[in-house]
Amino acid sequence: MGISDGFKYAYIVARVRAMKGKLIPKEMYPKFLNMEIPEITRFIGETEYKKNVDELSKKYSGTDLFEHALNENLALTYRKLLDVSQGEANFLITEYLHSWDIWNIKTILRGKFSGASEEEILEDVVSAGQLRYRDITEIVKIDSVEGVIAAFAGTPYYHVLQEYSGDLADIENKLDKMYYSSLLKAVSSTGNKLFLKYLRTEIDLINLKLLFRMKRGGMERDDILKMLIPGGFELKETDLNRLSSLSFDEFVRALEDYSYWKAISDVSEDLSSLFNVETRLDKYAQSYITSISYYYPLSILPVLAYIISKKIEIDNLRIVVRGKETALKEDIIKTHLVM
Amino acid sequence: MVEPSAMLADPKGLIAIGAGIAVGLAGIGAGMGEQTIGAAAVGAMAEDEKFFGKGLLMTVIPESIAIFGLVVALILLFVF
């Protein structure tokens, strides 16, 4: 990495590091567990979320206010990253954040498929990608799934959405595959090997989660292989072929050969709930990107580390509040938190 | 016909050129260092104004390289 590469990332990395300092420290989450929802909302209202909570408090209250404030803050934070970055950093962030377009499309399709109201769908929308909130609010007004798909004509997602034939899981999987294949292509074109390595690890972790779920569900090998995303770092095609043909217990034992085992080894004895595994894999992704971002401080990696940490913060806050709302025990909420 | 002594360069001129190179290259080096640090300092300051003091301090640290160049130039000019 030459001086010019370092210069390109110095501004955005310093900015992101300052933003990272404003994230809620993980020591706060156990304290949140002892607070009531209004107290948590008040605390959040005194931090980076102040503006969002103040603006939305006229329209919403309680957990709805919380949910909307978190989503709006996440979208604005990601949009800010796009605004303050330039050149290669901007290109890579834009490509990475396309995942939120996919998220929004999935949310709308799921909502329309299950007959959810416009308000319920908008509660889960995060306009951090290329699709703007006002466009999404227009699309949400359409009644049928087919109508929603037609509204996406002209976007890069349309040719995948056109293949919809009533099977929502299939179209969601195709959207994920499309996202990762175009992202891998875009990142390869920049020659940014660091980002590529992280991305391929992320694909591995998604495939692992899918394998755990589908193995637990007792799905057939061919059906599993159809759902997995190609392009992983450690879990290459031959590994995926082998793992998908094993039984659940054999599959768990076979994972000992991979570096991801250290992330899940302590919960491998008790796999009654896959939440433990998924939480640990999320934690692995966060600690992996954070550690490699220290090795390469003037690269895209600190920005990615922030994007992921911010997402985890929002998810954790949501888990705490939703858990509190449904009167879940503290221990159960704690196991779901990524800390 | 040119006198052989006239063909030899004046040592004072060579010293001046050496001093110029010392200051010039040191300045370019310091500038390259400050470029990256300055960009980072502005980024940090844009998020939090409290970084102004630290950012300014960090930005001028490579300036010491330019001072080394200046010292070398002064030694060349006044000692030799």
pLDDT digits (tens, 9 = 90+) for B23-50: 999 999 999 999 999 999 999 999 999 9
CATH number of the domain within which A158 lies = 1.20.1690.10
What sign does the CA torsion over A256, A262, A265, A267 have?
Answer: negative
Mean pLDDT, range A176-204, rounded to an integer:
92
**pLDDT of A115 higher than 90:** no
Chain A positions in Cβ-Cβ contact with residue B40 (cut-off 8 Å): 10-11, 13-14
Calpha distance A269→A272 (Å, rounded): 9
Under an 8 A CB cutoff, do B43 and A14 touch? Answer: yes
Complex ipTM: 0.78
Interface test with A, best of B28, B45, B47 (most A CBs within 10 A): B47
Residues A110 and A172 in one domain: yes
Q: Residue A276: its pLDDT value, please?
A: 83
**pLDDT of A10 higher than 80:** yes
Among residues A136, A168, A192, the one where a domain terminates is A192
Any residues with CB less than 8 A from the CB of A85 and at least 6 apart, and which? A12, A93, A303
Residues A259 and A291 in one domain: yes
Q: Residue B4: its pLDDT value, please?
A: 59
Residues 25-44, chain B, touching A (beta carbon < 8 A): 32, 35-37, 39-44
Burial class (CB in 10 A: 0-12, 13-18, 19+), A90: middle
Question: Model confidence at A271, in pLDDT bands (50, 70, 90)?
Answer: confident
Q: Which domains does chain B have, with CATH numbers?
A: 12-78 (1.20.20.10)
Length of chain B: 80
| For A19, nearest residue in chain B (alpha carbons) | B47
Question: Model confidence at A2, in pLDDT bands (50, 70, 90)?
Answer: very low
| Pairs of residues, one from chain A and one from chain B, whose beta carbons lie less than 8 Å apart | 41
Residues A128 and A146 in one domain: yes
Calpha distance A188→A96 (Å, rounded): 13
Judge whether A123 lies within some domain. Answer: yes
Among residues A154, A169, A192, the one where a domain terminates is A192
Amino acid letter, A314: I
Total domain count for chain A?
A: 3
Query: How many other CB atoms sit within 10 Å of the CB of residue A206?
Result: 18
CATH number of the domain within which A334 lies = 1.10.132.50
Question: Model confidence at B74, in pLDDT bands (50, 70, 90)?
Answer: very high
Under an 8 A CB cutoff, do A298 and B36 touch? Answer: yes
Under an 8 A CB cutoff, do B41 and A14 touch? Answer: yes
Residues A188 and A199 in one domain: no
Q: Residue B6: its pLDDT value, please?
A: 55
B76: which 2 tokens? 């060349």
User: Which runs of consecutive H residues, i.e. helices, occur in chain A?
Assistant: 3-20, 28-33, 37-45, 50-56, 62-84, 87-96, 98-114, 118-123, 133-140, 145-151, 158-161, 168-190, 193-216, 221-227, 237-244, 248-254, 261-264, 275-295, 301-325, 330-336
Range of the domain at A307: 1-59+299-339
Contact A128, A79 (CB under 8 A): yes
Q: Does B51 touch chain A (CB under 8 A)?
A: yes
Residues A290 and A303 in one domain: no
Q: Residue A217: its pLDDT value, please?
A: 86
Using a CB–CB cut-off of 8 Å, the residues of A that contact B are 3, 6-7, 10-15, 17-19, 21-22, 84, 298
**pLDDT of B9 higher than 80:** no
Among residues A128, A161, A192, the one where a domain terminates is A192
Residues A188 and A89 in one domain: yes
Chain A positions in Cβ-Cβ contact with residue B39 (cut-off 8 Å): 7, 10-11, 14
Interface test with A, best of B28, B35, B36 (most A CBs within 10 A): B36
Q: Which of A196-200, A272-276, A333-337, B17-21 is predicted with the least confidence, judged by mean pLDDT?
A: A272-276
Under an 8 A CB cutoff, do B44 and A6 touch? Answer: no
Residues A197 and A259 in one domain: yes
Q: Which 3 state secondary structure label does DSSP give A264?
A: helix
**pLDDT of B68 higher than 80:** yes
Contact A167, A198 (CB under 8 A): no
